[in-house]
Structure 1
Amino acid sequence: MKLTVVGAGNVGATVAECVARMDIVQNIALVDINEGVAQGKALDLMEAAPIHGFDTVIEGGADYAITKGSDVTVITAGLPRKPGMSRDDLLAKNAEIVSSVTRSVVDQSPDTTIIVVSNPLDVMTYVAYMESGFPSQRVMGMAGILDTARYRAFLKMELGVSVRDINAMLLGGHGDSMTPLPRFTTVGSQPVTDLIDEARLDEIITRTKKGGGEIVGLMGTSAWYAPGAGAAEMVEAIVKDSKRVLPCAAWVTGQYGLEDMFIGVPVKLGRGGVEEIVELDLNDKETADMKASGEHVREVIGAYENLKAQA
């Protein structure tokens, strides 16, 4: 199996490192417009192999020829968020970058499965889907895993329990419009609503929604450890054909009352990509929240389509 990671910045390098340490693919191609950065990080990772004990071969460069025959491709290329910027502010420039990257990837690996990490996530996944011409099952976005991980991390901080015992699910668009599901959050066998009062839980959910912005405010740039690990978890599920149920941005065709967009939903991930969308039984409020999130994603898709028409 072979993985390509496009973008050798912080997120892309973290994806490559996480997957290499899993030792689940034979080769990783790390591609970046800055050839020296891609080659340098690939070499640095190879020199870490004897310490971590992995045999994955990592090659870096600017030429997409090194990506040929990739089974999975992770696209992290794009401008990072800066203080004061929303994910949507990145729309025009990153749509141009993701379009170009997708065409180059498909040219070398027509059978690859694409995972998009670039922001604004839901719409960049749509861009990759339209440019690739792939079946929707083979294009997806990494968002829900990251959002859910942040939520679980904040719950761990609050309750002082192991993250392994916290099960949670967040749906909807990536960012402020995500749909929280406290009813589906448990700690061990206990509902989180029995452990944290409603007001405090709302504060934790709000922090989760603004989790990316909180890190941008602290560091002056976007996060990379958690996003990179989230994308690597998706790669692992596909490569191992494990059929894991994970929240990802997937193409909906009526599920949750939404259609013709990529939005965060629980999916079964395997060698075929998104093999099934799992529909949870939402209550009226959760359904309304999901609809509102879908409307936001639809607005940004419309903005992208307008920009494309004007080009």
Structure 2
Amino acid sequence: MAVASPSPQTAVLNPTAITIPKITIIGAGNVGASLARSLLSQNLGNVVLLDIVSGRPQGLALDMAEACPLEGCTHHILGTNDYQDTAGSQVIVITAGLPRKPGMSRDDLLKVNGRIILDVVAKALPHSPDAHFILVTNPLDVMTYLTWQTSGLLPSRVMGQAGVLDSARFRTFIAHELGVPPQDVSTMVLGGHGDLMVPLISHTTVSSIPLTELLSAAKIQELVERTRHGGAEIVNHLKTGGAYYAPAAATATMVAAILQNQSAILPVSAYLDGQYGLQDIYLGVPCHLDRNGAASIVELSLTANEQAALETSAQSVRQTLEKALPLFEA
């Protein structure tokens, strides 16, 4: 008996039925490469790794692609030097820039990295006008503001990765001190991504127990200071370059929240328009992250000391921003 051939409707899959997100990482240094690997391992989407150095993103991407059969990655990675390959990205992460060296502050990077950011945005945005931009380049809060200003995008679509990383560092130090799993520690670090960041002791718990009931004020302050200088501590160990595993993991957390529409509350560098009493500045605050980006800012109740510290941190970021504004006139 002859068997009827399946109809075209059942035999051919609709190629548009499933849309795989596209994530571009600009900068194939240690942070960019670690982030690409993290995104692939979580199967968050197809990844484009772009760098100005010919061959570097291509080689890294090929190496990661060859690991995929062994690690269960289902999506693709492309290494490139051509911005056309980034077209149609849902999320663009900018890690490009000069890394810190021992004795160098984040502000020392301002001039060179500001010019890099302006160039990257001008080249990437026309190919992906609907993308969300996540900044990792330092000085983080100022680079995020520059990206927003030069892109003309809604501020909710431009954000910086800092608070997720800083909070993870604080959680790590607390967990090590108490001998508990870091997952048991809940905290939030606000403010600028620098030495004046503001770990919120009033919102820090360990298995729902306030941190102040487990550690002395002196020990808590010691952990706060270590968190504020957490990046420099790693730089001093490595001698050349800085942290990359934890920054990549923190950025991947933000990408996942956006692409999966999680509405997760995460501390990110977001644009403030009156929230926390601050105006026209990017600063680390808790936000709902979903498909709309930094959809809304969560205003926490702060102690008087925490509010004052946040305002001091904002003042420092604003001073650095005033140095950066002439970049727009170049």
TM-score normalised by length of structure 1? 0.98
Shift of 1:307: 4.9
Mapped contact 2:54–2:81 kept (Cα < 8 A): yes
Q: Distance in 2 between matches of 1:265 and 1:84?
A: 28
SS in 1 for 2:133: strand
Residue of structure 1 aligned with 2:302, choices 274, 278, 282: 282
After superposition, where does 1:1-311 map in structure 2 within 5 Å?
1-25=21-45, 27-220=46-239, 221-309=241-329, 311=330
Q: CA deviation at 1:248?
A: 0.2
Q: Deviation per CA, 1:191-246: give whole Å up to 9, x if none.
A: 01110100011000000000000011000221000001111100000000000000
How many Å separate the matches in 2 of 1:71 and 1:129?
A: 16
Note the C-alpha offset of 1:132.
1.0
- C-alpha distance in 2 between matches for 1:159 and 1:51: 37
Q: Distance in 1 between matches of 2:175 and 2:199?
A: 17
1:35 partner SS: coil
What SS does structure 2 have at the residue aligned with 1:80? coil
Unaligned segments of structure 1, at least 5 residues: none
For residues 326 and 119 of structure 2, the distance between their equivalents in structure 1, rounded to whole angstroms, comes to 18
How far apart are residue 35 of structure 1 and its match? Answer: 2.4
The 3-state SS of whatever aligns with 1:245 is strand
**Alignment check: 8 A CA contact 1:253 1:259 kept:** yes
Amino acid at match of 1:244: A
Write the deviation string for residues 97-120 of structure 1: whole angstroms up to 9, x where unpaired.
Answer: 011001111011000000000000
Per-residue Cα deviation, 1:80-112 (whole angstroms, up to 9, x for no partner) = 000110000000000000110011110110000
- Residues of 2 paired with 1:250 and 1:77: CA distance? 20
Q: Which amino acid aligns with 1:32?
A: D
Distance in 1 between residues matched to 2:115 and 2:318, nearest whole Å? 19
In structure 1, the residue corresponding to 2:301 is in which secondary structure? coil
**Aligned partner letter, 1:121:** L
The structure having more radius of gyration, on CA atoms, is 2
Q: Check conservation: 1:35, 1:60, Cα contact below 8 A.
A: no
Instruction: Give the AA of the match of 1:16.
Output: A
CA separation in 2, counterparts of 1:43 and 1:65?
19
Matched residues in 2 for 1:129 and 1:44: separation? 34
What is the aligned partner in structure 1 of residue 5 from structure 2? none
- Number of residue-to-residue matches in the alignment: 309
Residue 308 (structure 1) shift? 4.4
Please give the alpha-carbon distance, in whole angstroms, between the structure 2 residues aligned to 1:52 and 1:166.
30
* Conservation of the 8 A alpha-carbon contact between 2:167 and 2:199: no
- Please give the alpha-carbon distance, in whole angstroms, between the structure 2 residues aligned to 1:166 and 1:284: 23
* Alpha-carbon distance between aligned partners in 2 of 1:266 and 1:54, rounded to the nearest angstrom: 31
Separation in 1, partners of 2:114, 2:313:
21
Contact in 2 for aligned 1:142/1:231 (Cα 8 Å): yes
CA-atom RMSD in angstroms: 0.8
Unaligned runs of 5+ in 2: 1-20
CA contact (8 A) 1:115 1:139 kept: yes
Please report how far the alpha carbon of residue 296 of structure 1 lies from its aligned counterpart in structure 2 after TM superposition: 0.5
Deviations 1:262-307 (A, max 9, x none): 1000000000001110000112111111110110010011010145
Equivalent residue, structure 1, for 2:12: none
Q: Does the CA contact (< 8 Å) of 2:202 and 2:303 recur in 1?
A: no
Whether contact under 8 Å (2:27, 2:49) holds in the other structure is: yes
Identity %: 48
> Which deviates further from its counterpart, 156-165 or 108-117?
156-165
**Residue 8 (structure 2) aligns with:** none
CA-CA distance at 1:138 after TM superposition: 0.2
The aligned amino acid for 1:253 is D
